[in-house]
A and B are shown apart, each in its own frame.
Chain A
Amino acid sequence: MRRVKYFPEVMEIEAYVYTAGPVGTKWLEALKAGKLMAAYCPKCGRLFLPPKMYCPYDFEEVKELREIAPVGVVESYTVIERDFNGEPLKEKRVLAFIKFPGVEGGLIHYVKADKPRIGMRVRPKWRDERRGLVTDIEYFEEA
């Protein structure tokens, strides 16, 4: 009965290539080189992450990225124990929002820590082979 009641379909949602944009591309190239950078707004002087070609505060065009110290602070974290369907994960994963001193915004990324805590100072663990993706940072670890 179900075969006549339902029409199964698979959306071709894997077939996208997203453009990072001029500033985003520079940022990804920096990640590939093992450097962490933030967008710099020439009008308000703020640094912000993730970088975009426009300042979210005053709509000024952003052309420049500046390297930042790769030591962040855990602002919030969660230990993911189950998947979306409620099944226990084989391995718990710590997901965190990480801020960097003097930088607006920050990065969402994994943290490798048995006892994560708010305020914990963390630094990126870079992969040896990097491709220009946010996952060139394998995870953050206690600094």
Chain B
Amino acid sequence: MRVLVADDSKAMRMIVIRTLRQSGVPIDEVQEAVDGADALAQVDTFQPTLILSDWNMPNMTGIEFLAALRGRGDTTPFGFVTSESNPDMRERAIAEGAAFLLTKPFDGSRFADVIGSLVG
């Protein structure tokens, strides 16, 4: 699995990646992006099989990143890892094509559950 992790916080990117590796999901390569615009620019070259993105980021938010991605026909599985969530955000995320919205802080087992169900 090739995973693109988008978060403006280096600390949170490291936590996401560490938790991802601890979750038992087979990871081949991980690449980091500092915001939605950076992530969008990396998708074509990195060709991730899973994208994990924060919601609230400068330059381009996570939901804008997802909309841009789906707008150009890219169907890469996409999950939000965000510090905030509410029913409206979940609805928007699903409507734009996200597979899940995971709220920070999260533990390894929760992470394994959502990623595991996604990759089967």
The judgment on whether A and B are partners is no
Interface residues of chain A, those whose CB is within 8 Å of chain B, are none
